[in-house]
Amino acid sequence: MELMDMIRNRRSIRKYLKQPVEREKLDLIAEAGLFAPNPGGRQGTRIIMLDDPETIEKIGVVNADCENRNWDAGVSKDQPSIIDDKSIRSGFYGCPALAMVCIRRDKKTMVNPIGSAFVCAQNMVLEAYALGVSSVIVGRAEATFARPGMREYLDRWGLDPDYMPIVFVCLGYIDGPYPAVKTRNEGRYLYVGR
């Protein structure tokens, strides 16, 4: 599959089967994140891959609680978010695997740490798509792990205390039909020639 076709066709998926994602695929998805561009070649991001649905659900409920769910605009009719459907309890939508991209707590010690984390997440969702695994990037990681008792997970998993999660990547196999590509809004590209 050509890269541009993957970029055009990959969609954010929020409905997952209970089927686990194979460890080999999770390792390849994480590897794609580790090869993301990063300022100064410092390789400053860390990735935690979790495939325990019970723990994912617990953290996902805290994550959803960190969101202002009173937006005026909806996100998706095909793949509703916690903004669209207030009955969705978890910000991770029942995904069977979850990646957490982490950066240093002292953001001044990295060049563009948040950008680095999201580029890492983008590489991961593209690799997931190439492997037939669906995904969605979810924010609120810093707020999620700032809640009481949440740091205990990171300590138990062995994350260096100087690091914190900044973005999540939900991973799993889609439950239902894959959404069609949406038309792109006009006026988003401006070319300035010589």
The model's pLDDT over 7-33, given as tens digits with 9 standing for 90+, comes to: 999 999 999 999 999 999 999 999 999
Residue-range domain boundaries for the chain: 3-172
Buried b (16+ CB within 10 A) or exposed e, 51-75: bebeebeebbebbbbbbeeeeeeee
Confidence at residue 145, expressed as pLDDT on a 0 to 100 scale: 97
Digit-coded pLDDT (tens) for 96-134? 999 999 999 887 777 788 899 999 999 999 999 999 999
**pLDDT value, residue 31:** 98
Q: Which two tokens stand for residue 91?
A: 């910000």
What does pLDDT average to over the chain? 93
Separation of first and last alpha carbons in the chain: 33
Q: What is the pLDDT of residue 68?
A: 76
- pLDDT at residue 137, as a whole number: 98
Q: Where are the alpha helices (DSSP H) in 139-181?
A: 141-146, 151-157
Does 1 or 117 have the greater pLDDT score?
Answer: 117
38 HSE (CA, 13 A, CB side):
21
Q: What is the pLDDT of residues 52-95, one digit of tens each?
A: 999 999 999 999 999 877 776 677 888 888 888 888 999 999 99
Average pLDDT of the residues in 155-166: 95
The CATH architecture annotation of domain 3-172 reads 3-Layer(aba) Sandwich (3.40)
Q: What is the pTM of this model?
A: 0.93
